[in-house]
Structure 1
Amino acid sequence: MKLLAFAASNSSQSINRQLVDYAVQLLQDGLIEGVAADAVEISSLDLNDFEMPIYSIDRQNADGIPQPAHDFYDTIGAADALLISFAEHNGSYTVAYKNVFDWASRINMRVYHDKPIVMLSTSPGGGGGGFVLRSAAHLAQYFGNEVLASLSIPKFDQNFDTTAGTLADADLDAQLRDALATLSKVTSKVTGDSAAG
């Protein structure tokens, strides 16, 4: 299974990036039930590599769709599954992510290519990025996603050990592992398709 993992943030200090990195480490260490480490090939992207002018129909009509939008769209298309942690700015997506997404949606509204996805979010507050996570999960059907699982991690600074790079709260850690275990459906399908081919 080819898994694309990234944080929907362009911050160099992104706590959602730290959460994704921990989830990736669990997968690479073979600590997720039903998902063997050697069954997952993980790649990542950085939203800073996809900077473009703010989307407008006037820009599109004048200059077309920028190459970074095509690159983002194609990178998602090359994966078998997605792992995204959504940063929340004022109850919604970050501007950086929304702009890349808006440009890519002009290529095809089904930006996510009908890929299965595990959605995460975290924030310093008690809401844990829940607003943006619920919005992303609700809208996934319109943009080409099968949501396997979603999980919000509240109070990041209290629940995540930044020195160790791990979740310090045992219950939240177990919930994360359960969410990642849903990827076993994808590994089973990919393995089955390969065997059939």
Structure 2
Amino acid sequence: MAAILAFAGSNSSTSINFKLVKLTTALVQNHDIQTLDMAEHPFPVFSEDLEKEEGYSASLKELKEQINSASGLILSVNEHNGNPSAYFKNVLDWLSRMDRKFLEGTKVLLMSTSGGKRGGKGSLTVVENMLPRFGAEIVAIFSLPSFYDKFSEEGILDETLKNEHQNALNTFLDALKQ
């Protein structure tokens, strides 16, 4: 049984990426899963001055501990103008200042969704290229386009996408066994 941390890269209380994370974690059995709602985790905008003056917040240290305690990470990133949200980039900035390799040895299921037809692929690509710099091993990727047409409280409505999602999750779970 592996420890898995799951969250979305969004601090919105209505995050569709967090809804995708919750669906994904509901499909996982026989693992210890901790799900974080990042809307409950505010962080100040990173600056070197603030880092020197105040150091690292207790909530940032706690997040780093949660990441370090997990064997795997289920992460769904939102997209703002083709890039990850400023909030998520800010979280990465803070974490990487604490420890450049804060994701060392962590296997990642990287996902994204959006209301558009590209499913947040711009953000997904940026984050896919960024996380390995911090030590992450991205083992599976999934993008859900047209969220409002292809998702309901029961799950992913499009059978092809539903199968792609399950395959990505299975690949991730299999990688945790290794």
Question: TM-score surpassing 0.5?
Answer: yes
Which residue of 104, 118, 143 corresponds with 1:152? 143
- Runs ≥4 residues deviating over 6 A: none
Which residue among 59, 62, 67 is the counterpart of 1:71? Answer: 62
Higher RCO structure (Cα 8 Å, ≥6 apart) = 1
Aligned to 1:4: 5
Which amino acid in 2 is paired with 1:57? Answer: E
Cα separation, 2, equivalents of 1:48 and 1:87: 13
Indicate conservation of the 8 Å contact 1:9/1:47, yes or no. yes
* 8 Å Cα contact 2:18/2:37 also seen in 1: no
Residues in 2 aligned to 1:83 and 1:18: alpha-carbon distance in whole angstroms: 12
* Matches of 2:124 and 2:11, distance apart in 1: 17
Q: Deviations over 1:45-68 (max 9, x none)?
A: 122333122110011112212222
- Aligned equivalent of 2:166, options 173, 177, 182: 177
Q: How far apart are residue 174 of structure 1 and its match? A: 0.1
Unpaired segments ≥5 residues, structure 2: none
Identity of aligned residues (%): 32
Aligned length: 177
Report which of the two structures shows the higher radius of gyration computed on alpha carbons.
1
Cα deviation, residue 113, structure 1: 2.9
Give a deviation string over 1:97-124, Cα, whole Å, max 9, x none: 2222211111111232330000000000
Counterpart Cα distance in 2 of 1:140 and 1:100: 12
Normalising by structure 1, we get a TM-score of 0.85
Residue in structure 1 matching 2:106, options 86, 98, 115: 115
**Contact kept? 1:51, 1:100, Cα under 8 Å:** no
CA distance 1:187–1:149, shift in 2 (3 Å): closer
Q: Determine the structure 1 residue equivalent to 2:20.
A: 19
2:21 touches 2:75 (CA, 8 Å); kept in 1?
Answer: yes
1:86 maps to 77
Name stretches of at least 5 consecutive residues in structure 1 with no aligned partner. Answer: 28-36, 190-197
RMSD of Structure 2 on Structure 1 (CA): 1.3
Distance apart, 1:184 and its partner CA: 3.4
Kept after mapping to 2: 8 A contact 1:128/1:155? yes
SS of the residue corresponding to residue 93 of structure 1 reads: coil
For residue 185 of structure 1, report the CA deviation from its aligned partner: 3.0
